[in-house]
Structure 1
């Protein structure tokens, strides 16, 4: 068994919007801060089908760090009902693939994970009331933050990718309690665009207090800044964006 994504855009699908996030990395060496644009990029698109469901397709090209991730999700009535995630690992002139399918019903997740060897692992996981699904990619962050603002601290499910070399845990479900807080409205500039944005602090899981997200008036994430540790900071920006007329 294997999962192939992203699937082609269906004839009954209408484009909502699409864009691409680019990743910047700041490091501190001997008291000097070095900032550079990495080769990591994350193009995505959102479509609506004839039933009114929302299909999101996203790809994180992080071959600079030895992997590439694909995600495709389906949301019905503003709730993600299923998503697929595939990670390709580039090592020793070979490409290895691991994938997982997540499906949600009430407070349960059914997970079908396909290992590097092609073995299928199936598990069922009970989730907390009001759980939130966050399928890795930045285009989902706006929705996650808005749900946290309404619900307060909540359980968030995200596939585990903290160490892509740990293929025993890779893409298994990670649950953590997370929170979001509104800070202020401000105008930010990204790649020549002036954006009226709301700034939020988002924390829990791997995100420490002080992680900042900027959402536009449609709750699309425009930028986020994450201090990974004392020496490393990530700054991700939506540098290409087009909404359908």
Structure 2
């Protein structure tokens, strides 16, 4: 089964928007719990995706990747970003320690969403739908985009969430030195992508996330892998 471009956009658009925007909302919510109300005061701690959508990162980049994948063939990694939620780490009650929880909230939200999408697939199949129904394919897109965003953001590279987690865990002197990488983090990420290492680095974690998703939802990871292959070809 091969999806045309319109079908691909229909399958991907809702999972992509929610995966990106709820990731950011989770950061703001946890920051508020630990004392920083910046995002809350700006109205960014909300499930309304329109508060988080970045026209380029949330819409243009994912659509461009889908278009290129259709023209050039499969094997792409779909990703994007929302408007970053502002966090004043200095306003946290224990800035260095609490940074870990604020940073981890985004990937944790992605894991939860991946499991919820898997449960939607499971429910549809239980009610008699086949694995080729639109809801199952949308669920697979939800699993995949959330797994990608979780794995990508857990890379220990500032300013990604994994980098902030590393800064929180490292002793003070080493944390300060490691944090100095942040202005160059995006360029390092691009370099890893262009030389083909990013996919190799992310693959083991992606597989682990999909296995965990299947375990919590009762959906076999083989079925998930088959669906992902359909939506990414």
TM-score range, shorter chain: under 0.3
Structure having the higher helix fraction is 2
Structure having the higher strand fraction is 1
TM-score of the aligned structures, taking structure 2 as reference length? 0.26
